[in-house]
Amino acid sequence: MDRVALRGLKARGHHGVFPKEREEGQTFIVDLVLGLDTRPAAADDDLAKTVHYGIVAEEVVAVVEGEPVDLIETLAERIARTCLKHEGVEEVEVCVHKPDAPITVPFDDVTVTITRSRV
């Protein structure tokens, strides 16, 4: 299976279990790896035969900016479902970064990574 990756998609969301997170929001960063067969698109040099990653990026940002959830695990699941709606995408790896998570000790990032497929 071939891979198309989008890294560092940024959007402001209001996800989290604490009231301050819901009220003020914070930046979330999403990395995606879409699994699909790119041979038909490459053979014909035809965008219609592959995934339009610009549209996927817009849809993922809309999910992050959309209805709040408590957990980034839930957010990752919603993003995965959105990606799998695209014809030809057989598998997706979603990594959601929450670099401003409310943690009381020094840290660089918090991530949740999931892999989902059409199976």
Selection from 67, 68, 55, 64 nearest residue 96 by Cα = 64
Joined together, the tokens standing for residue 108 give 């660089």
Q: How many residues does the chain have?
A: 119
Catalytic residue positions?
98
Report, in angstroms and rounded to the nearest whole number, the Rg of the chain calculated over CA atoms.
15
Tokens matching residue 21 = 């997170």
Instruction: State the pairing for strand pair 26-36/91-97.
Output: antiparallel
